[in-house]
Amino acid sequence: MRAIPLFLLSGWLALPVHAADAQDWLKRLAEAERGQSFQGTFVYERNGSFSTHSVWHRVEEGGSIRERLLQLDGPAQEVLKVDGQTQCVSGALADQVGDAQAWPARHLDAEQLGNWYDIRVAGQSRIAGRNAVVLVLAPKDQHRYGFELHLDQETGLPLKSLLLNEKGQLLERFQFTQLQTAAPEAGALQPSSRCRPVRLRSVDQVVEGSWRSDWLPPGFTLNAAQLRRSPASDEAVACLMYGDGLARFSVFLEPLQGAVVEDARSQLGPTVAVSRRMATEAGDVMVTVVGEIPLGTAERIALSMRAGASEQVSQ
């Protein structure tokens, strides 16, 4: 278990700490994500840069979830999702449709996460004028980062989410400055005319049986696969998305068609990107791993990719 520095726990009113309490709060969070409508404004911080966003999240009859995100400062960027699937994007996002969350909501499995994280209630806080319970999720290995979640006592929604490295240093922050738990009006969920439709093809027939990873961090499974058009060519790029129930990363595989490219590695806040050339019988392919995981883990994943039978997509 990685130790959480004491200064991260200072200033909070201690609560009775039992593993069951933490599991109960994670279950409340999962229920809130599926059933709680809300709207509000949050601040996102990464690598010393800040941006402010509005979010509208509406649970409709039948359980369908419609969500719209709008960046309020800097470049105009907008995202509309229905049941987690991106419908349209605008601004710079239109050219790089990623899999990042529009806000710090994740479909959590409390029991599953207990296999990979030590989870505890750390205290109480107050965020956006609302009382919150603080959960700390410390990773049990070196292949994922730690999380600190401040959950609304009334609804279980995440009011604040911190991503921390092994030294307890902040990598990423989501924090609501204002939150209303009433369902937003239907008009607030309508995208602007600048929001460009997104059409992603499923690659069940294309990628199924085409790729595999010889090594994955414990607990990570293949969640989804998509085919995307390369921004640099007409080639189709396979995208495999993995997760452990909290942390996520994607692997992109792009045919090079004789292009000369160099291996590369970079990190911006919590997000790493590792690219390496891989030789296959059909020609060289550029393998790129992108996600909120340690750099060494991303490098090992990139080296493990092979042409051949791929993993079964988890349900």
Q: What does the domain layout of the chain look like in residue ranges?
A: 6-189, 200-307
Least Cα distance to 163 among 107, 101, 220, 110 occurs for 101
For 20-79, the pLDDT digits (tens) are: 699 899 989 989 988 999 999 999 998 888 899 999 999 998 889 999 999 999 877 899
Query: Which is higher by pLDDT, 123 or 229?
Result: 123
Query: For 6-189, CATH number?
Result: 2.50.20.10
Would you call 215 exposed, middle or buried from its count of C-beta atoms within 10 A (0-12, 13-18, 19+)? exposed
Find tokens 């607990």 and name the residue. 219
Instruction: Report yes or no: 296 and 269 within 8 Å, Cβ to Cβ.
Output: no
Instruction: Report yes or no: 215 and 301 within 8 Å, Cβ to Cβ.
Output: yes
Please give the CATH topology (third level) of the domain spanning 200-307: Phosphorylase Kinase; domain 1 (3.30.200)
Its pTM stands at: 0.83
Half-sphere exposure of 195 (CA within 13 A, CB side): 16
Task: Please give the angle made by the CA atoms of 45, 46 and 49, to the nearest 5 degrees.
Answer: 70
